[in-house]
Amino acid sequence: MASGDKGSGIPSRSFSFTFLPRHLSAVNTLHLLSTLGLFALIWFLLTGHEWQSWLIGAPVAVMAAWSTLQLRSSAEGRLNLSGLLKFLPYFIRESVLGGIDVASRVMRPKMRIAPGFLTYRMRLTQPPARRLFVNSLSLLPGTLTADLDGASVYIHALDRHLDLSDELRRLEQMVSAVYGESL
């Protein structure tokens, strides 16, 4: 390394033409190995016991891990396991309710809908937490992410007369726990 000055904010090396220069110190070994392990697991799940497939799979997993670490922003936090374990049952229950809700609304002879838009300001700051929030929002009962502008989410509601603010705050709380972010 030319500068040898870790974490000083000076890019130590440029990797390519299109990607921003990264700090090598920002990528620790544990993170690299867990990312690599994740892609290797995905390849294994897709191909099963075909060992020859690793001829292609191993380089692809390395390249996928490399580009993931290149593209992730250095400000992104880590997943919090207990938060994730609480989020999963909540997410599954809400997906089931969401499916039943929309099915029961459209199957009535006279549909029980009053579509409309509302805006919600996210308190989440981390980009991956925001991504999880807006994507889960689309799977929850009655809400759909329509547009995004910074911290403001423009939400389409199937029934605009329902008060959704409690539900939205609850989802935001669950998402913040997944990324260990306090609101």
Partner 1 sequence: MLDLLALILVFSGIVFFFFGAIGLLRLPDLHSRLHALTKADNLGLGLVIVGVALLHASLLVGLKLLLIWLLALLGSAASAHLISQYALRRRRQ
Q: Which of 23, 98, 123, 126 binds partner 1 (CB under 8 A)?
A: 98
Secondary structure (3-state) at 5 = coil
Q: How far is CA 72 from the centre of its chain?
A: 12
The region of 28-36, 50-58, 82-90, 144-152 touching partner 1 under the rule CB under 8 A is 144-152
Residues 6+ apart with CB under 8 A from 60: 39, 43
The region of 26-34, 54-62, 153-161, 169-177 touching partner 1 under the rule CB under 8 A is 153-161
Binding mask 58-87 for partner 1 (x = CB under 8 A): ------------------------------
- 154 membership: H or E segment, kind and range: strand 152-157
Q: Does 151 interact with partner 1 (rule: CB under 8 A)?
A: no
DSSP symbols for 63-92: HHHHHHHHHS-TT--PPPHHHHHHHHHHHH
Which stretches of the chain bind partner 1, using CB under 8 A?
42, 45-46, 48, 92, 95-96, 98-103, 105-107, 111, 113, 115, 134-136, 138-139, 141-142, 144-148, 154, 156, 158
